[in-house]
Amino acid sequence: MVLNESRPARPDDAPEIARIYTQGIEDRSSTFETRPRTADDIAPWFDGQHPIVVVERQGQVIAFASTSLYRPRECYAGIAEFSVYVDRAARGTGAGKAAMQALLADAQAAGYWKLLSRVFPENIGSRKLLMSLGFREVGLYERHGQLDGLWKDVVIVEKLL
């Protein structure tokens, strides 16, 4: 059995995070983004306020989960948006779950009381993963954005920490 080991991400993980995120962008299954990402795009994520974790297997980063600003209003300071992405070759191996479990703990330790995100309805793997971790689906944004010229809905998910 190969173990997935999670740890807080470091700025020098940015190239691997960008590589994995770009796979998700290319797959058109997880994000409205269409432009591949670089390490320079990822570097600003390391702001000291929003936890980011990576999962390694045998020293190789195979997944990440990150938090980001939800809204700039002070009343929402304890809420963060999150994302989780897994290298294509490691999908279905528990790496996403390991990343999210570590992110949940780190986000709570950082003072967040809620994490939320939006998931494409057809991304059944992510929806099942999140539900297994106690996230609830609270609604649907219809025609939330366009991807490759097509309108897509998103399922809103949240978890109180």
Query: For residue 40, what are the domain limits?
Result: 5-115
Does residue 142 sit within a domain? Answer: no
Torsion angle of C-alpha atoms 64, 95, 25, 42, degrees rounded to 10:
10
Does residue 152 sit within a domain? Answer: no
Does residue 158 sit within a domain? Answer: no
pLDDT in tens, 103-133: 999 999 999 999 999 999 999 999 999 999 9
- Residues composing the chain: 161
Does residue 155 sit within a domain? Answer: no
Tokens (6 digits) for 101: 């479990």
Does residue 130 sit within a domain? Answer: no
Does residue 135 sit within a domain? Answer: no
Across the chain, mean pLDDT equals 97
Does residue 101 sit within a domain? Answer: yes
Residue 108 and residue 161 in contact, taking contact as beta carbons nearer than 8 Å: yes
Residue 13 has pLDDT above 80, yes or no: yes
- Residue whose token pair is 């190789």: 60
DSSP secondary structure code for residue 42 in this structure: H
- Structural domains of the chain, count: 1
CATH of the domain at 10: 3.40.630.30
**Beta strand 60-69 pairing with 79-86:** antiparallel
Does residue 63 sit within a domain? Answer: yes
Q: What is the pTM of this model?
A: 0.95
